A = this chain, B = another copy of it.
Amino acid sequence: MSKPSIPKGTRDFSPTEMMKRNYIFDVIQRSFRNYGFKQIETPSMENLATLTGKYGEEGDRLIFKILNRGEKLSSALKNIDASTSQGKIEHQLCNEALRYDLTVPFARYVVQHQNEISFPFKRYQLQSVWRADRPQKGRYREFYQCDADVVGSNSLNNEIEFISLIDEVFSDLQIKDFTIKVNNRKVLSGISEITGEKDKLIDLTVAIDKLEKIGEEKVVEELVSKGISASAIEQLKPILQIKGTFQEKITELKGVLASSEIGMAGLDEMQAVFSFFEKQALKNAKLELDMTLARGLNYYTGAIIEVVGEQGTSSLCGGGRYDDLTGIFGLKNISGVGISFGADRIYDLLEEKDLFPDLQVHTTQLLITNSGDNEQQMLVLASAFRREGIHTEFYPDASKFSKQLKYANANAIPYVIFDGKGNHPDSYELKDMHSGEQHFHSFNDIISLLKK
């Protein structure tokens, strides 16, 4: 029989990996709660119709669909022939699908439960999502997202608080060197307006979003291929090259976008956010205005936020404001703003920089060995230690002591008690696995020692 395996792009998580992942989730969750976000969960499956058409054509293709069962399946199969398109086939064979992100299910939740919700609604959600993407380093088919959103408030105070929260989370994770890039969709709209390509806003933003990755030349090629006029591209170039501090960029852009009402509104929003943090310093984050930031997503309407580590590597967190998200489910005029932490990339960064703290607190502190003679007493002793809050294991089998000590080492258990070989009544022989020292101690002394 060949060794079993798991689907491409999915992962098993070992005990050590789980401890590290939980650490990241705990830090993020602590800040979410500290800022008043409340947790919800939505089902792993949504109706296929809830998800399709929300992520673009490419996104629709990447949604994992669940095969119908029974009668539904057999009757669907009868209706399929060689001429049926793949998209149609999927909708005939499947009514349900795995969620692709947390934002669309959240929008669905808000609309479905609107009468139970007291707005503004501050929710967080830590759940996995599934995408049938080609797996590669750092990209998986099942991965966790950690999202917080506020819906039902137009105030820029939310953007400010999200930036503070991001600063808190990464600082708590001991990451010192990171940049929060900020842009505003209205500024992008302003740019498209003054370049005379108002109707090509999406093409324009999708292309300039790639500036850092593919360089100016390729971006220009893409713009040409999308039918953006040569004069518009010429007007665009100096805008994309604006350099300087946050404030300098705003000032320069105010000159360029003076004739665009929406562009100026976007700059005012960025100015307000930036001014707050000029007076109220962030712990570690550098705040940067990045006009090329568009994050590919079509639904942002205001602020756009992205966090990168040193040397501007991959995105650790991203988000923005979307004025019309619940509109797709029939609930108009509910503005939302939110962020999403990428747990996998944060994990990789902490690993690379060796920033994980000692996480042994949740693991076994004490192993009681088994000589085969005093099992009843040793089981009772293990219970007594556990009642005192010491995570304790009693080795279940009377195996060789060397095997039992090997188990303690393999599981990083720091202390071992030797079962019943002492002449000391009411005391136990305790081995410190780190130093190798072995001494007799009373029950209470062991508890004090282990609680240190």
Per-residue 0/1 for A371-411: is the Cβ within 8 Å of any B Cβ (1 yes, 0 no)? 00001100110110010010111111110000000110011
- B74 touching A86, Cβ below 8 Å: yes
Contact for A39 among B4, B11, B15, CB less than 8 A: B15
Within 8 A of B (CB), among A238-269: none
Report the bound CA distance from A382 to B50 in whole Å: 37
- A42 touching B12, Cβ below 8 Å: yes
Q: Is A353 an interface residue (CB 8 A)?
A: no
List the one stretch of A154-162, A193-201, A288-296, A314-322 in contact with chain B: A154-162
Q: Chain copies in the assembly?
A: 2
Nearest first, the 10 A-B pairs at minimum CB distance are A118-B410, A10-B43, A36-B393, A15-B38, A1-B330, A155-B396, A36-B364, A13-B41, A153-B396, A18-B39
A77-B80, A379-B160, A394-B161 given as contacts; is B43 within 8 A of A6 (CB)? yes
With both chains docked as a complex, state the minimum distance between the C-beta of A281 and any C-beta of chain B, in angstroms.
11
With both chains docked as a complex, state the minimum distance between the C-beta of A143 and any C-beta of chain B, in angstroms.
10
10 additional contacts (CB under 8 A) given A13-B42, A34-B391, A67-B94? A7-B43, A7-B45, A13-B40, A15-B39, A18-B41, A34-B386, A66-B66, A66-B67, A154-B397, A155-B396
Contact for A64 among B3, B66, B158, CB less than 8 A: B66
Report the bound CA distance from A164 to B243 in whole Å: 66
Report the bound CA distance from A379 to B132 in whole Å: 42
List the one stretch of A106-114, A174-182, A204-212 in contact with chain B: A106-114
- B113 touching A150, Cβ below 8 Å: no
Which chain B residues border A330 with CB–CB below 8 Å? 1-4
Q: Is A280 an interface residue (CB 8 A)?
A: yes
- A383 touching B164, Cβ below 8 Å: yes
List the one stretch of A122-130, A217-225, A298-306 in contact with chain B: A122-130
Q: How large is the interface on A (under 10, 10 to 19, 20 to 34, 35 or more residues)?
A: 35 or more
Which chain B residues border A116 with CB–CB below 8 Å? 14
Which chain B residues border A362 with CB–CB below 8 Å? 33
Report the bound CA distance from A36 to B155 in whole Å: 48
Query: Smallest CB-CB separation from A19: which chain B residue?
Result: B39
Q: Is A61 an interface residue (CB 8 A)?
A: yes
Which chain B residues border A13 with CB–CB below 8 Å? 40-42
With both chains docked as a complex, state the minimum distance between the C-beta of A273 and any C-beta of chain B, in angstroms.
11
Report the bound CA distance from A5 to B7 in whole Å: 30
With both chains docked as a complex, state the minimum distance between the C-beta of A48 and any C-beta of chain B, in angstroms.
9
Which chain B residues border A443 with CB–CB below 8 Å? none
A73-B86, A108-B4, A330-B1 given as contacts; is B12 within 8 A of A40 (CB)? yes
A36-B364, A46-B6, A93-B93 given as contacts; is B376 within 8 A of A279 (CB)? yes
Q: Is A185 an interface residue (CB 8 A)?
A: no
- A44 touching B43, Cβ below 8 Å: no
Report the bound CA distance from A1 to B111 in whole Å: 11
Which chain B residues border A73 with CB–CB below 8 Å? 86, 89-90
- B379 touching A280, Cβ below 8 Å: yes
A–B Cβ pairs within 8 angstroms, 17 of them: A1-B329, A2-B330, A4-B111, A6-B45, A10-B43, A10-B45, A14-B116, A18-B41, A35-B386, A36-B367, A61-B69, A65-B66, A67-B93, A118-B407, A157-B396, A161-B382, A280-B383
A74-B86, A94-B67, A379-B276 given as contacts; is B109 within 8 A of A12 (CB)? yes
Which chain B residues border A132 with CB–CB below 8 Å? 69
Q: Is A363 an interface residue (CB 8 A)?
A: yes
Query: Smallest CB-CB separation from A153: which chain B residue?
Result: B396
Query: Smallest CB-CB separation from A67: which chain B residue?
Result: B65
With both chains docked as a complex, state the minimum distance between the C-beta of A356 and any C-beta of chain B, in angstroms.
16
Which chain B residues border A382 with CB–CB below 8 Å? 161
Per-residue 0/1 for A46-77: is the Cβ within 8 Å of any B Cβ (1 yes, 0 no)? 11001000000000010011110110011001
Which chain B residues border A90 with CB–CB below 8 Å? 67, 73
Per-residue 0/1 for A323-367: is the Cβ within 8 Å of any B Cβ (1 yes, 0 no)? 000000110000000000000000000000000000000111001
